[in-house]
Amino acid sequence: MMEIISALITNYYYFVAILLFLIGFHTMLTHSNLIKKVIGMNIMETSIFLFFVAIGYVDGKNAPILNEEAVGYINPLPSALILTGLVVGVSLTAFSLSLIIKLYKYYGTLDADEIMRIRSQEE
């Protein structure tokens, strides 16, 4: 039991990333408000970025910038993946919010269950 607690304390950033992912996943599953679903999706994206930062960090190493003083470098791949993920995340959020605006103008509600009920009555 002490080994598990010691591992959690040592690698707390992994634990926080998993906790954030579960919070975002829970938000997406339990709320029917479309804005809250997008917020949950953004929390999940942030947790994945935190996880990649935690993987790429090496204690005592520097960013991969060439200079004479630097002895060792961290892995630049997680940083590149995070930059790509940020662009994809912002694009996905903007697209999702634009669709939510269109849905609200058409159905008059942001509730996903209500939209499904209205759609079933239209058919």
Let me know: does 16 contact 54? Beta carbons within 8 Å.
no
- For the record, the structure tokens of 84 come out as 């790509």
Let me know: does 27 contact 43? Beta carbons within 8 Å.
yes
- The DSSP code for 64 is S
- For the record, the structure tokens of 114 come out as 């209500």
Assign 8 a pLDDT band (cuts: 50, 70, 90).
Answer: confident
Domains by residue range for the chain, with CATH: 1-122 (1.10.287.3510)
Assign 70 a pLDDT band (cuts: 50, 70, 90).
Answer: low
State the DSSP string of 98-121: HHHHHHHHHHS--BHHHHHHHHHH
- The DSSP code for 108 is S
Is the model's pTM score more than 0.95? no
